[in-house]
Amino acid sequence: MALARPLRRPEHGSPKHDARPSASADGSKTSIDARIYATIHEAVLDHRLSPGTKLKEVALAELFGVTRAVIRKVLGRLAHTRLVELRPNRGAVVASPTVDESRDLFAARSAIEGAIVNALAGKLTREQLRELRALVRSELDAYQRGDARQGLKLSVEFHRVLARMAGNAVLAEFLDQLVSRTPLVVLAYQGSGAENVCSTDEHSQLLDALAAGDAQRAVNMMHAHLGALLARLDLQGTEKRDADLGQILGIRPS
């Protein structure tokens, strides 16, 4: 998914935007706050906004050309998904998961995704298998081109598509929240010299097990797959640094 298009800052003397709907490029209606939410959310998923990064209302309002009330609403939504921490009298920062929270997150993903592949084993249609294998091929192609950002997006999408295909909306919703928070853990505790990304070989082998209807093998592979991702992390903490929000979010001040 492409980074949400940056909003233009208002001309000098013109009123600032509010959160009323505006027309998007495809003609559909979307609200300004939804577009800002998508931009910041995408920056977290893309590993561009690190844990602990300060999200100052004034700076964001100026960058997006909106009021602080709009930014406050967006930060509240991000806090609800646990991607942002709202600290009393100190403002908002990108969430910094603790070591225990990080381990708990992977344990929760392992339980949920184990249940998902158990439900899918032997039940995927040919069309669904073709869709999943095409996704894995696109993922591999992205990594081979050196486009790690796109490869990571497709890796995440692979897990989300599996959840949707399982047909359990509750599990899919839980997993989506956990997957959205995973990049924060990776950024906070990624070991030096190793990319914490999914292996396309493991994804392909998992699909083979699902196609063969081997539920136990699929569950074991998913547990091992997520366990390997967790093992690559250096759960000793990290140093937080200030960041240029405009550069990170792709917004050039006028």
Residue 1 lies in a domain: no
226 and 116 within one domain: yes
pLDDT tens per residue across span 7-34: 444 444 434 444 333 444 443 335 888 9
Cα distance between residue 69 and residue 62, in whole Å: 12
pLDDT at 239: 44
Total tally of structural domains belonging to the chain = 2
Do 108 and 225 fall into the same domain?
yes
pLDDT in tens, 120-176: 999 999 999 999 999 999 999 998 998 877 888 888 899 999 999 999 999 899 898
144 vs 254 pLDDT, higher one: 144
Same domain, 85 and 115: no
- Tell whether the torsion through CA atoms of 142, 148, 154 and 155 is positive or negative: positive
Q: What are the pLDDT digits (tens) for 167-216?
A: 999 989 989 889 888 888 888 887 544 455 677 789 999 999 999 999 99
Say yes or no: 105 and 201 in one domain: yes
Q: Which are the contacts of 157, defined by CB distance < 8 A and separation ≥ 6? A: 135
191 and 89 in a single domain? The answer is no
In a domain, 66, yes or no: yes
Show the domain range for 45: 21-96+238-249
Do 220 and 115 share a structural domain? Answer: yes
**pLDDT tens by residue, 45-55:** 777 888 889 99
User: Under 8 Å CB-to-CB from 86, ≥6 apart: which residues?
Assistant: 75, 76, 79, 92
The CA distance from 44 to 74, in Å, is: 14
Residues 73 and 123 in one domain: no
Establish if 12 belongs to a structural domain.
Answer: no
Residue 9 counted as domain residue: no
CATH for 86: 1.10.10.10
In a domain, 85, yes or no: yes
Over residues 207-242, the pLDDT tens digits come to 999 999 999 999 999 999 999 989 888 886 544 445
Q: What is the pLDDT of residue 23?
A: 41
My answer on whether 79 and 155 are in the same domain is no
Same domain membership, residue 149 and residue 87: no
What residues form DSSP beta bridges with 86? 92
What pTM did the predictor assign?
A: 0.72
Q: Residue 4 falls within a domain, yes or no?
A: no
Q: Are residues 166 and 212 in the same domain?
A: yes
Residues 186 and 77 in one domain: no
Q: Is residue 13 part of a domain?
A: no
Task: Identify whether 73 is part of a domain.
Answer: yes
Residues 155 and 56 grouped into a single domain: no
Q: Residue 251: what pLDDT?
A: 62
Residue partners of 88: CB distance under 8 A and separation at least 6: none
Contacting residues for 148 by C-beta, under 8 A, at least 6 apart: 142, 195, 197
